[in-house]
Amino acid sequence: MKKTAVREASVIHLRKSDTVNAVYDWVSSFVFATALVIVILTFFIRIVDIDGRSMMPTLFDKEKVVITNIVSTPENGDIVIISHGAEYEKPLVKRVIATQGQKLSIDFDKNTVTVDGKVLSEPYIRGKTTMEDGEIPSVIPKGKVFVMGDNREESSDSRGTRIGLIDEKNIIGKVRCVVYPFNEFRFVK
C-alpha cells in the first residue's frame, strides 16, 4: 500500500513538473516572439499614416503604409517618408526626383522634369507641374535630395521654400506597400 501511495505521489509530482515546464515553454516562446516583433518594428519596418492629397493617385489620404527603415541611400523614383523634425508638423511623404550630384531641370510650360539630360517618364503624376516660390537648383548638393508629390498641383515639396531640398538624414524610410484599408492592399512603385 505504501508503494502505491509513493507511486501516485511521484506521478502527481511528474504531472505538476510537466505542467510547469509546459507553461514555462509557452511563456518563454511568447516573450521571445514579442521581443522579435518589437525589434523588427523598431529597426526594420514601420507603419505610417498618409495625411493629405499630395501623393494622389499613388497614395491616398488616411491610407496606412509599411515603410522599411533599413539604412540605404535614396534613389530616383523612391517614395520616402521624411521626418517632421523642427520644420514640419507631421512626417511628409514624397517621391525622390533627383539625388546628390544629379543635374535637374523642370520645364513648367511642357510639364516635364529632366534629370541628367533625360526627360523622366512620370505616368503616376496628377496635375500640371507648377512653379512654387523656391529656387530649383541645377545640380543637387551633396547629402540632399529633391522631392515632389505625385499630385503636383496640390503638393508642397522641394519646389517651394517651405520644404526645399531634403537632407538625406531626414529620410526615415521607403514606402513598400499599402496595408490599410485592407481591401486596398498593394505594393507601391
Q: How confident is the model at residue 91 (pLDDT cuts 50, 70, 90)?
A: confident
Q: Are 163 and 52 in contact (CB under 8 A)?
A: no
**Catalytic residue of the set 3, 54, 105, 158:** 54
17: left (phi over 0), alpha (psi -120 to 50) or beta: alpha
- Kind and range of the H or E run holding 10: helix 2-43
* Same domain, yes or no: 59 and 5: no
Query: What does the alpha-carbon distance between residue 38 and residue 43 come to, in Å, rounded to a whole number?
Result: 8
Asked if 37 and 51 sit in the same domain, the reply is no
The pLDDT of residue 97: 96
For residue range 54-68, what is the model confidence (pLDDT) as tens digits?
Answer: 999 999 999 999 998
Q: How many domains does the chain have?
A: 2
Q: Are residues 59 and 18 in the same domain?
A: no
Do 16 and 108 sit in the same domain of this protein? no
Domain that holds residue 7: 1-43
How high is the pLDDT of residue 105?
94
User: Is residue 133 located within the same domain as residue 67?
Assistant: yes
Which three-class secondary structure state does DSSP give residue 188? coil
Does 74 lie in the same domain as 10?
no
The tens digit of pLDDT for each residue in 20-49 reads 777 777 888 888 888 877 776 666 788 889
How far apart are the C-alpha atoms of 125 and 153, rounded to whole Å?
Answer: 10
Percent of the chain with pLDDT strictly greater than 70? 86
pLDDT of 73 higher than 90: no
For position 174, which CATH number holds? Answer: 2.10.109.10
Active-site pick, 10, 16, 94, 144: 94
**Nearest partner of 55 among 120, 125, 111, 113, judged by Cα:** 125
CA 149 to chain centre: 15
- Reference 106, options 55, 31, 98; nearest CA is 98
- How large is the average pLDDT for residues 86-112? 89
Is residue 98 over pLDDT 90?
yes
Residues constituting the chain: 189
Backbone torsions φ then ψ of 59, nearest 5 degrees: -130, 145
Is the domain of 23 the same as that of 103? no
- pLDDT, position 174: 93
Report the chain's terminal Cα–Cα distance, integer Å: 77
> Based on the domain organization, do 177 and 142 belong to the same domain?
yes
Same domain, 84 and 120: yes
* Catalytic site includes residue 62: no
Predicted confidence at residue 72, as pLDDT, reads 73
155 has catalytic annotation: no
Q: What is the pLDDT of residue 162?
A: 85
